[in-house]
Structure 1
Amino acid sequence: MKLEEYIKDKGSIELIKKAEGLARNFFEREGTHGFSHVKRVFNLCLHIGEAEGADLEVLALAALLHDVARPLEDKGIVEDHAKESAKIARRFLTSLKYPKVDEVVHAIEAHRFSRPPEPKTLEAKILSDADKLDAIGAIGVARVFMYSGEHGRDIETSIKHFEEKILKLKDLMYTKTAKKLAEERHKFVEEFIERLLKEIEGEL
């Protein structure tokens, strides 16, 4: 669905498109955490947010801006991209006199499942869920091997990453909608790894 099918207010749509334009400028190249990841998280947020009755404007802004500092973290310029992304979002939205800056900033600060703070609002929980969902399923499999290619990891190391992180994400979802989506994606990953292990052993 297009943005206009979720959000009807023209002012909100214009603001969200401004945020998208800002976010795009931070990503010099694609990869496991490129702008395509941001757009998938954005789409998931709108889908989950509509089902869960969230503030879609806050959610859309948080989704688009949640990883803007990720390239800076990858380069070692900042330590925590979530905190830095939240700072960038605050400056941007404050300059536009946006009234719900704190809600957007909290969602961005709390989107990483492995670091505090815990998400307190529905919008923050949905952003965290959407970010985790993009690491599961067919997309999740593709991203793991993209990352492995970027960092010279072999297949066995990739499988270990699935076991240590990816297969645990299903149980970390907050919302009912995300839990349902995670079940299906998790099953796909389990079946993929099972077949991959068999093929490594020459069984198929």
Structure 2
Amino acid sequence: MKKIDDLKQYVSEQLANDATGHDFSHIIRVANLAKEISNQTDNADLLIVLTAAYLHDVIDDKLVENTYDKQKEVQSKLKELDYTSSQIDEVMDSITHMSYSANLKHHYELTINGQIVQDADRLDAIGAIGIARAMYFGGHFGDTLYDPQQVPRSDMDKSQYRKHTTVINHFYEKLFKLPELMNTSVAKKMADKRSKYMHDFVREFKNEWRGIQ
């Protein structure tokens, strides 16, 4: 798809300097996962799915200071690539409402295309890749690796969630919860394996921290 090829170039430039684990390699993995889920999900529109997958972090407020201007820029880019108004609306609705933090207090109902991208993004946050990204993200912001005295938080709103915690607490505050939040049956199956690997890692980490062999 030429539209997608042009979009990939745009996104790669937007995220070229990312050092938080939301770089273009993350985008490629999400797009690949989203395509795989789409192939096994009824009524998926691959163009919308891939477009949202490539763009979902370009407007993320973790990475962008002025999200309003960036959203307008993305909309202009899609118009330039001859997306229809309805296609643009669906893509923007998906990428502005799919994040974990946006759904802490209110669950947004996404279209099936948005659900697929949300699942793909969440899959890339768990398993072996998820462990690596959590460490990378925490290290970037100077977060403490682990503190047994610091209890994981619960029932947070977005502002509370965005306050940094220990890297290991992040598993309890978000990552362990993601498998149950998957929308599609395909993603649920993928998440099971990744979830087990992640739980095993944290269990082993804590044992080694305490000096248990």
Structure-2-length-normalised TM-score: 0.81
Question: Is the aligned partner of 1:164 residue 2:173?
Answer: yes
Deviations 1:86-134 (A, max 9, x none): 4333211122331222222222122213215714310011111111111
Note the 1:1-204 alignment, pairs <5 A. 13-31=1-19, 32-53=21-42, 54-70=44-60, 73-74=62-63, 77-78=65-66, 81=67, 86-99=71-84, 100-115=87-102, 118-156=108-146, 157-204=166-213
SS in 1 for 2:38: helix
Q: Aligned partners of 1:115 and 1:47: how far apart in 2?
A: 25
Structure-1-length-normalised TM-score: 0.84
Aligned length: 187
CA contact 2:58–2:70 (8 Å) conserved in 1: yes
Mind listing any 5+ residue stretches in structure 2 that lack a counterpart?
147-165
The structure, 1 or 2, with the larger RCO (C-alpha pairs under 8 Å, 6+ apart) is: 2
Mind listing any 5+ residue stretches in structure 1 that lack a counterpart?
1-12
CA contact 2:28–2:54 (8 Å) conserved in 1: yes
Deviations 1:20-53 (A, max 9, x none): 0111111232431111111111111101111113
Q: Aligned partners of 2:114 and 2:16: how far apart in 1?
A: 27
- Relative distance call for 1:107 and 1:86 in structure 2 (3 A) is farther
- Relative distance call for 1:87 and 1:181 in structure 2 (3 A) is farther
CA contact 1:107–1:119 (8 Å) conserved in 2: no
Q: Aligned partners of 2:78 and 2:190: how far apart in 1?
A: 31
SS in 2 for 1:185: helix
Structure 1 stretch displaced more, 150-159 or 83-92:
83-92
Larger % of helix: which? 1
Q: Aligned partners of 2:33 and 2:129: how far apart in 1?
A: 13
Deviations 1:2-29 (A, max 9, x none): xxxxxxxxxxx11100010111111232
Deviations 1:120-176 (A, max 9, x none): 310011111111111100000000110121122232121111111111111111111
1:200 Cα offset (Å)? 0.6
Output the aligned Cα RMSD.
1.9
1:85 Cα offset (Å)? 5.4
Identity across matched positions, percent: 35
Q: Aligned partners of 1:195 and 1:24: how far apart in 2?
A: 36
